Structure 1
Amino acid sequence: MQFTAILLGTITTLSSLASAQYTNRSHAFNLVVESSTNKTLSGTRLTACHSGAAIETLCTYPAASDSISDEFYYNYTTQSKPTSGIITWNLPYNGNQIESEPLTFQYDPSTNVALPVFIPSEDNEVFVTFDKNNYLLVLSYLDDTKTPPGYKPQQLSRWQVCQTYYGSYTYTTLAWTLGSGKPQNPSCQAVKVKRVAITKS
């Protein structure tokens, strides 16, 4: 009975997130890496860089000569607390047209490091929020660190910067550790990601 209640609560929460209308759109901003252990890395902007047909990873700038843009948006709803939303990036095509791509995670069964990518699909978006200091956090509603596992709202920061391989491209990119353990990729460095408003001159 208790498990059924927990399961229904989780399904209800995820369903409400999936059906929420993310009609609020922020102004453009940069995503900036902060590191307490690497002064060279700290302060680096993230940029969308080509990693396949209409697919972009988040590279440290200037990580790749074919980097495209470092302006991002937050599409969000105020119907939930904390505010829930998705990070989007505008893919330019046909000269002056754009396609708003949501951020999602790409997984591979060989590793516990997921790769944030922008793809032209509305499936499996990563639901995120920002704290009062504008740090980017991923929303989660599962706690399986105990038995039985259950429903637990969490705002997680497991960001890494690693050398990654995706779509035949090797870049230094933003990554995400799956679970609470250390990333198995030896190049990974733990970081925070901060939203910084763009000031137009």
Structure 2
Amino acid sequence: MHFTSRTLLSLAAALSVAAAQSADCVYDVQSAPFHLRLTSDDARLNDTLLVSVHAGPPFRQLVSEVLLGEKYPGNNLSDISINFYYNTTSNNDPNLNCLPGKLHWAPEQSWPSVFGLESSLASNVLPVIVSPTQGEGSGPQFDEEGKLFQRARSFSPVITDENTWSGANYYKWFVCATVYGNYNYGDALTWVSGGLPDGKDCRAVNVTREWA
């Protein structure tokens, strides 16, 4: 895979941030293994599992296991992971700006992984990328029913006299055809930042943690 100088600089900077953060925020509490199950009105996606797939070192995307097998029948898909782990920190220092948790696809990984969204001014469809370069992301979280969500505060960047902040859980997951680098996955997990997705072949989903 070809990396531009911008990509390499971004990766180096992000790794530096991750290394600096790791000195304070150590994600030393690991969950039991679990699967990520999709529910959807789309019959082909409903009740299928997400797996992590290679999208260029050290990047991973999350795609439907069943549809990935249909797209590449008979191919050796040894570089996929069906099990996931959720690492949190045991440090309760309120002065530290730690992520809620980090999503891992192996019990012991050689780098810290952060669940992030790859934004673009050209589309409201944001591919989910798991990598050490997504240090500014909010991290994945699971609600009481085990559903994956993003926690955000509603805020308008336009200055008004009535700016207010309020926390809310958002579940704006879609499976869409995506391109990331040289990797083209037709059924990858994405986030839609507003309105209906303008991406090709996007289908709404919920993602639920299911203990393995």
Q: TM-score range by the shorter chain?
A: 0.7 to 0.9
1:150-161 equivalence runs, <5 A: 150-161=164-175
Q: Is the aligned partner of 1:33 residue 2:38?
A: yes
Q: Give TM-score, length-normalised by structure 1.
A: 0.74
**1:174 is matched by which residue type in structure 2?**
L
Instruction: Check the 8 A contact 2:112/2:131 in 1, yes or no.
Output: no
AA at the equivalent of 2:174: Q
Whichever structure has more strand as a proportion of its residues is: 1
Q: 1:125-183, CA deviations, whole angstroms, 9 ceiling, x for partnerless residues?
A: 3333222211111110233399544311011100001111111211110000013x111
- Using the size of structure 2 for normalisation, the TM-score is 0.70
* Aligned residue among 62, 85, 110 for 1:73: 85
Q: Which runs of 5+ in 1 are unaligned?
A: 1-18
Q: Deviation string for 1:41-70 (max 9, x for gaps)? A: 111111111111211111110416545202
Q: Provide the residue aligned with 2:199 in structure 1.
A: 185
1:17-39: CA deviations, max 9, x gaps?
Answer: xx76644321111111111x212
Structure 2 spans left out of the alignment, 5+ residues? 1-23
My pick for the range that moved more, 138-147 or 168-177, is 138-147
* Closer/same/farther in 2, CA of residues 140 and 56 from structure 1, 3 Å limit: same
For residue 165 of structure 1, what is the aligned residue in structure 2? 179
CA distance in 2, matches of 1:170, 1:20: 34
The 1:149/1:183 distance shift into structure 2, 3 A limit, reads farther
- Looking at structure 1, the residues matched to 51 and 38 of structure 2 have their Cα atoms a distance apart, in angstroms, of 11
Q: Is the CA contact (8 Å cut-off) linking 2:38 and 2:46 kept in structure 1?
A: yes
Paired residue for 2:49?
Answer: 45
Tell me the CA shift for residue 91 of structure 1: 6.2
Alignment of 1:62-141 (within 5 A): 62=66, 63=68, 65=75, 66=77, 67-76=79-88, 85-90=100-105, 98-121=110-133, 123-141=135-153
What is the root-mean-square deviation in Å for CA atoms of aligned residues? 2.8
Give the Cα–Cα distance (whole angstroms) in 2 for the partners of residues 22 and 91 of structure 1: 14
CA contact (8 A) 2:39 2:46 kept: yes
